[in-house]
Amino acid sequence: MTVPASPGTVERYLTEHLARGPLHFTLIDPDKSPGERAAGIARGAVALGSDAILLGGSTGISRDVMGRAATAIRAAVSVPVIIFPEGPGSLAPEANAVLFMSMLNSRNLNLVIRVHAQAAPAVRAMGLEPIPLGYLVIAPGMRVGEVGQADPVPRDDLAAATGYALAAQYLGMRYVYLEAGSGAPAPVPVPMVRAVREVLSIPLVVGGGIRSGDDAGPLLAAGASVLVTGTVTEEEGLGDGFRSILAEVRRARGG
């Protein structure tokens, strides 16, 4: 029996790109934007400089819907297509990878580790590359905080955020994701990103409530490695908000 190479192809791609500066991931909900529509968003987002496509939503996406979207996107763009799972039912082998994420501050043990134990054999059988990630819900947390039964980290509790992030790193997770919640009225606070960045030596993903370059710039300056946006493209398409976020990512890369 051979042990699969670790990290895998997608993680190596991300690591190589991160060496040149911060990245941007475009989150697409295939229930709202199925198949070819998802591919159209992905094509436009990648043309503007987005580095990977995340596929997910906070309510049960079927394997079929996920698979169709992943297939259409992979035919349209060459960046990785990564499942951002809300449950094992949405895993599909047509994607390249899955964020294999533990919700660190959930009260529900299923979301911390039990579902992972159930899903891991399916991830292996599907040939999906698991990307080990600690997922931390920051207030307000929005729907994912409710569904995930999180105790959201208060926005001024930098010690709690740094503690969780460092614990994730010490447990061997290779990414930490600070999540304010999709559609949050404001992103994760800049001082929190700065505090976590100071202690962490693995990449720091920040998402939730980022709608403009004015939001993105300070988060990047504070040390975010990856910005994730979803709502801005769902509500405004690839318009000024999205373009100004990508412009800030380019600027932070020095280009």
Which residues here bind ligand 1GP, judged by CB under 6 A?
27, 179, 182-184, 207-210, 228-232
**Number of residue whose CB is nearest ligand 1GP:** 207
Contact 203, 175 (CB under 8 A): yes
CB 124, min distance to ligand 1GP, A? 25
Cβ proximity to ligand 1GP, 152 vs 209, nearer residue: 209
Q: How many CA atoms lie within 13 A of 219 on its CB side?
A: 33
CA distance 69 to 63: 10
Cβ proximity to ligand 1GP, 134 vs 183, nearer residue: 183
Q: Which residue reads 């009225």 in tokens?
A: 185
CB 103, min distance to ligand 1GP, A? 12
Cβ proximity to ligand 1GP, 128 vs 245, nearer residue: 245
Cβ proximity to ligand 1GP, 67 vs 187, nearer residue: 187
Cβ proximity to ligand 1GP, 92 vs 232, nearer residue: 232
Give the other-Cβ count within 10 Å of 65's Cβ.
Answer: 20
CB 1, min distance to ligand 1GP, A? 36
CB 159, min distance to ligand 1GP, A? 23
| DSSP labels, 211-247 | -SHHHHHHHHHTT-SEEEE-HHHHHH-SSHHHHHHHH
CB 179, min distance to ligand 1GP, A? 5
CB 207, min distance to ligand 1GP, A? 2
Cβ proximity to ligand 1GP, 67 vs 148, nearer residue: 148
